[in-house]
Structure 1
Amino acid sequence: MERDLSLYRPNAGIALFNAEGKVWLGRRNLAEPPWQWQLPQGGMDEGEDPLDAAQRELFEETGIRSDKVRLLGSINEWLTYDYPPEVRDDPRFHKKRHLGQKQRWFAFEFLGMDSDFDLEAHGEIEFDTWRWAELSDLPNLIIPWKRPVYAAVVEAFTPFAR
Structure 2
Amino acid sequence: MSRADRYEYRPCVGTMMINALGEAFVGKRIDNKEGDWWQMPQGGVDDGEDLAEAMVRELAEETGVQRQHLEIVHQLEEELYYDLPEELHGKLWGGKFKGQRQAWFLVRFNGSDSDIDLEAHKHPEFCEWKWVDPDLLPELIVPFKREVYETVVAGFRSKLSSE
Match of residue 104 from structure 1: 103
Residue 37 of structure 1: how far off its partner (Å) = 0.4
Match of residue 15 from structure 2: 14
Residue 76 of structure 1: how far off its partner (Å) = 2.2
Work out the CA distance in 2 between the residues paired with 1:9 and 1:53.
Answer: 14
Work out the CA distance in 1 between the residues paired with 2:93 and 2:111.
Answer: 35
TM-score normalised to structure 1 length? 0.93
CA RMSD of aligned residues (A): 1.3
Residue 35 of structure 1: how far off its partner (Å) = 4.4
Work out the CA distance in 2 between the residues paired with 1:86 and 1:122.
Answer: 28
Residue 9 of structure 2 aligns with an amino acid whose one-letter code is: Y
Provide the aligned length of Structure 1 versus Structure 2. 159
Residue 16 of structure 1: how far off its partner (Å) = 0.4
Residue 88 of structure 2 aligns with an amino acid whose one-letter code is: V
Q: Deviations over 1:17-50 (max 9, x none)?
A: 1000000011101312424200000000011111
Relative distance call for 1:95 and 1:83 in structure 2 (3 A) is farther
Match of residue 35 from structure 2: 34
Match of residue 57 from structure 2: 56
Extract unaligned runs of 5+ from structure 1.
none
Residue 53 of structure 1: how far off its partner (Å) = 0.5
Q: Does the alignment pair 1:152 with 2:151? A: yes
Work out the CA distance in 2 between the residues paired with 1:47 and 1:82.
Answer: 24
TM-score normalised to structure 2 length? 0.93
Work out the CA distance in 2 between the residues paired with 1:89 and 1:126.
Answer: 20
8 A contact 2:90–2:96 mirrored in 1:
no
8 A contact 1:79–1:149 mirrored in 2:
yes
Work out the CA distance in 1 between the residues paired with 2:159 and 2:61.
Answer: 23
8 A contact 1:17–1:160 mirrored in 2:
no
Extract unaligned runs of 5+ from structure 2.
none
Residue 25 of structure 1 aligns with an amino acid whose one-letter code is: V
Work out the CA distance in 1 between the residues paired with 2:154 and 2:95.
Answer: 29
Query: Stretches of 4+ moved more than 6 A in 1?
Result: none
Work out the CA distance in 2 between the residues paired with 1:10 and 1:89.
Answer: 17
